[in-house]
């Protein structure tokens, strides 16, 4: 039987209970040595990522789903409240996601899709992407005029 570990803050989204559903509380849940679920929030309060300390050849890997969304260029990440509707995630929620991951080291980020991976410097990429995102979402319109679109 495959288990589904769901942060208790997302309990309202569970449509049926059963022996395979395991609700957990707190900022993180250790599944195995070096394998940790992290309640990062994001577009849902219980948005969860998985940190695998031995991943990426021992440099650490983050399996982020769409909480930290690897974008098409595989060189940066973004944050959205609703990806299908292009509604951005608020600055405080992005800061919460980043804060939830500050104590974890990871070189690689595996995103929600098989072709979406940051292959190296994952944590640095996430932090730089978040800083850019926060400048834009809080900005007065001048930040984006500094750079050509890429």
In terms of Cβ atoms closer than 10 Å to its own Cβ (0-12, 13-18, 19+), residue 9 is middle
Q: How confident is the model at residue 4 (pLDDT cuts 50, 70, 90)?
A: very high
Domains of the chain: 27-146 (3.60.15.10)
Whole-model pTM over 0.85:
yes
**80: its two tokens:** 């959205």
Dihedral sign for Cα 33, 71, 116, 106, please: negative
Reported as type and span, the H/E element at residue 129 is helix 122-138
CB 40 within 8 A of CB 51: no
CB 20 within 8 A of CB 56: no
pLDDT digits (tens, 9 = 90+) for 70-87: 999 999 999 999 989 999
Nearest partner of 31 among 13, 11, 48, judged by Cα: 48
pLDDT digits (tens, 9 = 90+) for 16-70: 889 999 999 999 999 999 999 999 999 999 999 999 999 999 999 999 999 999 9
Listing DSSP states for 48-68 in one string gives EEEEETTHHHHT-EEEEETTS
pLDDT at 148: 66
pLDDT digits (tens, 9 = 90+) for 104-143: 999 999 999 999 999 999 999 999 999 999 999 998 878 7
Q: Which residues pair with 23 in a beta bridge?
A: 6
């Amino acid at each position: 039987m495959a288990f589904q570990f769901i942060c208790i803050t997302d309990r309202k989204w569970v449509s049926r209970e059963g022996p395979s559903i395991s609700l957990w509380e707190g900022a993180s849940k250790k599944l195995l040595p070096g394998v940790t679920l992290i309640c990062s929030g994001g577009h849902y309060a219980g948005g969860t990522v998985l940190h695998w300390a031995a991943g990426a050849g021992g440099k650490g890997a983050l399996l982020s789903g769409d909480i930290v969304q690897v974008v098409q260029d595989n060189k940066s990440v973004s944050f959205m409240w609703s990806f299908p509707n292009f509604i951005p995630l608020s600055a405080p929620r992005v800061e919460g996601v980043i804060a939830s991951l500050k104590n974890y080291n990871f070189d690689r980020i595996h995103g929600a899709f098989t072709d979406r991976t940051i292959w190296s410097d994952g944590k640095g990429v996430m932090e730089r992407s978040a800083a850019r995102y926060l400048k834009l979402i809080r900005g007065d319109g001048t930040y984006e005029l500094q750079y050509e679109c890429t």
